[in-house]
Structure 1
Amino acid sequence: MANDLSTPLTGRKRKPGQRPHLPIARILFGVLTLIAVAFVLRLVLTDDPNGGWPSAEVAITSTRNGNQIANEVSTGPVTITADPQQYPADGSAPPDAEAHASGSAVAGLPDAFGALPDLSEETSDGPIPRIATTGLTPFAAYARPAQAAASSGKPMVAIIVTGLGINEQGSLEAIDQLPDDVSLAFAPYGKTLATTVAAARSGGHEVLLEIPLEPFDFPQNDPGPQTLLTGEPPRANLDKLFWLMSRFGGYVGVINNMGARFTASAADFSPIMEELGARGLGYVDDGSSNRSLAPQLASGNKVPFSRADAMIDSNPSRQAILEALASLEAKALENGQAIGIVSALPISINAIAQWSRELEDKGIALVPASALMK
């Protein structure tokens, strides 16, 4: 033992059967150094911005349909001049102002925003509707004509499809499938509203703007950004309304999205209905709340108004939808008119398209919603 302790380390010999001592730390350090050097050399010597990762280029095709007007609007800017016979430069009344006021459609193309120049007012959020200097209202200008159906004496049914504009392809398919007399309501949040709304209007449909109103269980049940709320200053809700109204143009009026609490509050709802009346817009109540003050407030502010009679696809099955449509027909036969609300589900769109083809044989006229708004 004494000899082992006194023997220098460099001269110590391995005993028989003893394993050699390897410098593991030095070996690992050397390997890591080689890897780092190789990585640096690859970056320096290889001219590849992707770092050697595989890549491929794929052509992306648009899902937008071939509608010429819709495509021109979406690719903007587009400058379309109003008809000087309808809107004289000196501001005088057009020769056919009475015809427009009676609800006939305005000829010519809208501007890039979707509105006629004399029916649009610029705000910090963008253009919003207004009454023209001639007295022409957006409701009268953008309504789809229905005089023939109204004078026929037949019971009339209107269908409003809601929730359009969020899904571009689904909205365009619905526009193609539905009869022109079906009214279309667009949510204010779609990224391609210029395209879908232009496609709807060029296809002959009249359009409505959906506005989110506070329900009783808000915020657990939230209709979306810029929801009009009870208890807020009127100016705050009007600012939200202006933002909503500036999402697109060319609509005859608005329809509520939820709003059982808001529509039951006269203090909060009155300034909104007053603004709609001052701007010549209509209001459709979706009929979901019996406490809504919309009928009284619309009447007091001379707002064209109607209340929906039925939610057609509350049960989104084909059989249930057809049964709801049969009930709507019965209501029209009883009262002379009826309005149904349907969401933009594919099953609902297909059912409405098929049902509408058989409606004339039943002695019932399909009309746009504006024809039933007083």
Structure 2
Amino acid sequence: MANDLSTPLTGRRQRLRRGTGRTHFPVARVLFGIIALIAIGVVLRLVLVDEPNGGLPTIEAAITNTRASNSVADSAASRPATITADPMQYPAGTMPSDAGVGAETGPAVSNAATILADLTEETSNGAIPRISSSGETPFAAYKYPFDLASAPGPKIAVIVTGLGINEQGSLDAIGQLPDLVTLAFAPYGKALEHTVAAARGGGHEIMLEVPLEPFDYPQNDPGPHTLLTGEPPRQNLEKLFWLMARFGAYTGVINNMGARFTASGADFAPVMEELGSRGLGYIDDGSSNRSVAEQLATSNKVPFARAGTVIDANPARASILSALASLEAQALDQGSAIGIVSALPISVQALSEWAAELDSKGIALVPASALMK
């Protein structure tokens, strides 16, 4: 007993361990070894295994389009690149993806259904029109090839505006309207490539709607990138370039609102000068008597026309038919007339029915470009 009391504590512990027969298990060393093995395995996998996804789980899923497709555009996209159609319809240097659109419908138009590379300039905003190296203008290349000599009598041109925002509504309108009707597209649609291709495939000449500042802006706002009075010309031109890059193959532009802007020569002049240098036309929608568009177009050699009648200012069938009758009277009195109509279903239907009977009245329906000076 005295011995145990005088023995150091370490010696007592050793005797106790020998007495019980238990051994110490090195848990910490084992855990460290396991962790080391795991780390070595990860490093070897990264070095030796070619796995670009890093071991992330992957799955393959089919992508389907629930949108109602355009049969003309879809059939063109699925065709081989070799083209055996009329060579005048698909001139050399055109883009096959665009040239195929409208191959089964519409007239055999040389350039109206294509975007010509030589008439395109790449910018930071996208491709915008320009005059070609040979001097050909987008206005001349993309207009409907109408022979004025074939219509010596009174002539009427109708421009349908507001297309492109509602895709299905635009496609329905394009399907109903005769190809001599000019179509103007707003620059804000999500499926502009689809709807514009359908219009070009149907033989229509097309225009770009450009939002211009009205007198009550911003209470009445024509949309993003509106050209404004009092801003530096460069800033307005940058907006114009963005708008011009939304789609291609248009003959020119038409204003959307803009009573204040079109009345300001200082603000409007740089825009009209740009249109002239790029070979584009301009149509004034006739909404403002203070517009200086005609003077600026003349000085910049821009093909120009001014619309005289808003056909569906009152979007009721009786009022639309009355406006169309007034348009006929104007054409009989002055030799020609231009009307503006929106893409409302009731307006499109009334216009289509009216156009079918126009020839019997001795009046020719013509594209807008045919009446632009």
TM range (shorter): 0.7 to 0.9
Q: Is the 8 A contact 1:256 1:286 kept in 2?
A: yes
Q: Percent identity at matched positions? A: 67
Task: Name the larger-Rg structure.
Answer: 2
Q: Is the 8 A contact 1:215 1:221 kept in 2?
A: yes
Q: Is the 8 A contact 2:222 2:257 kept in 1?
A: yes
Instruction: Give the corresponding residue for 1:143.
Output: 143
- After superposing on structure 2, the runs of 4+ consecutive aligned residues of structure 1 that deviate more than 4 Å are 85-89
Instruction: Give the corresponding residue for 2:191.
Output: 192
| In structure 2, distance between residues paired with 1:182 and 1:108 | 14
Q: Is the 8 A contact 2:261 2:268 kept in 1?
A: yes
Whether 2:60 is the aligned partner of 1:61: answer no
Q: Is the 8 A contact 2:93 2:117 kept in 1?
A: no
The change in CA–CA distance for 1:132 and 1:216 in structure 2 (over 3 A counts) is: same
Instruction: Give the corresponding residue for 1:361.
Output: 360
| In structure 1, distance between residues paired with 2:145 and 2:229 | 36
Structure 1 position 192, deviation (Å): 0.4
Give CA deviations for 1:80-125 in whole Å, capped at 9, x if unaligned: 9x99x95689xxxxxxxxxxxxxx9534862xxxx21000000000
Mapping of residues 44-55 of structure 1, within 5 Å: none
Query: Residue type matched to 1:68 in 2?
Result: A
Whether 2:255 is the aligned partner of 1:226: answer no
For the residue of structure 1 that corresponds to 2:71, the secondary structure is: coil
Structure 1 position 64, deviation (Å): 2.4
Structure 1 position 70, deviation (Å): 8.3
Structure 1 position 370, deviation (Å): 0.2
For the residue of structure 2 that corresponds to 1:272, the secondary structure is: helix
The change in CA–CA distance for 1:255 and 1:186 in structure 2 (over 3 A counts) is: same
For the residue of structure 2 that corresponds to 1:299, the secondary structure is: helix
Give CA deviations for 1:284-310 in whole Å, capped at 9, x if unaligned: 000000000000000000000000010
Structure 1 position 235, deviation (Å): 0.1
Query: Residue type matched to 1:157 in 2?
Result: I
| In structure 2, distance between residues paired with 1:284 and 1:108 | 19
Structure 1 position 65, deviation (Å): 2.4
Q: Is the 8 A contact 2:112 2:141 kept in 1?
A: no
Mapping of residues 22-171 of structure 1, within 5 Å: 61-68=66-73, 72=77, 105-107=109-111, 110=114, 115-147=115-147, 149-171=148-170
Q: Provide the aligned C-alpha RMSD in A.
A: 2.6
Q: Is the 8 A contact 1:69 1:198 kept in 2?
A: no
| In structure 1, distance between residues paired with 2:244 and 2:327 | 31
Provide structure 2 residue ranges, at least 5 long, that are not aligned to the other structure. Answer: 1-63, 95-107
Structure 1 position 61, deviation (Å): 2.5
| In structure 2, distance between residues paired with 1:217 and 1:70 | 46
For the residue of structure 1 that corresponds to 2:273, the secondary structure is: helix
Query: Residue type matched to 1:139 in 2?
Result: F
Give CA deviations for 1:123-168 in whole Å, capped at 9, x if unaligned: 0000000000111000000000110x44431100000000000011
Q: Is the 8 A contact 2:143 2:251 kept in 1?
A: yes
For the residue of structure 1 that corresponds to 2:259, the secondary structure is: coil
| In structure 2, distance between residues paired with 1:70 and 1:155 | 39
Normalised to the residue count of structure 2, the TM-score between the two structures is 0.74
For the residue of structure 2 that corresponds to 1:275, the secondary structure is: helix
The change in CA–CA distance for 1:359 and 1:224 in structure 2 (over 3 A counts) is: same
Normalised to the residue count of structure 1, the TM-score between the two structures is 0.74
Q: Is the 8 A contact 1:212 1:258 kept in 2?
A: yes
Provide structure 1 residue ranges, at least 5 long, that are not aligned to the other structure. Answer: 1-58, 90-103
The change in CA–CA distance for 1:224 and 1:108 in structure 2 (over 3 A counts) is: closer
The change in CA–CA distance for 1:229 and 1:71 in structure 2 (over 3 A counts) is: farther
| In structure 2, distance between residues paired with 1:194 and 1:88 | 20
Query: Residue type matched to 1:116 in 2?
Result: L
For the residue of structure 1 that corresponds to 2:162, the secondary structure is: strand
Query: Residue type matched to 2:352 in 1?
Result: A
| In structure 2, distance between residues paired with 1:108 and 1:273 | 23
Q: Is the 8 A contact 2:120 2:128 kept in 1?
A: yes
Query: Residue type matched to 2:127 in 1?
Result: P
| In structure 2, distance between residues paired with 1:233 and 1:79 | 48
Instruction: Give the corresponding residue for 1:306.
Output: 305
Structure 1 position 236, deviation (Å): 0.1
| In structure 2, distance between residues paired with 1:358 and 1:202 | 24
| In structure 2, distance between residues paired with 1:253 and 1:125 | 18
| In structure 2, distance between residues paired with 1:363 and 1:216 | 40
Whether 2:168 is the aligned partner of 1:174: answer no
The change in CA–CA distance for 1:70 and 1:178 in structure 2 (over 3 A counts) is: farther
Give CA deviations for 1:52-77 in whole Å, capped at 9, x if unaligned: xxxxxxx86222221236873xx9xx
The change in CA–CA distance for 1:129 and 1:319 in structure 2 (over 3 A counts) is: same
| In structure 2, distance between residues paired with 1:184 and 1:330 | 23
The change in CA–CA distance for 1:248 and 1:138 in structure 2 (over 3 A counts) is: same
The change in CA–CA distance for 1:117 and 1:258 in structure 2 (over 3 A counts) is: same
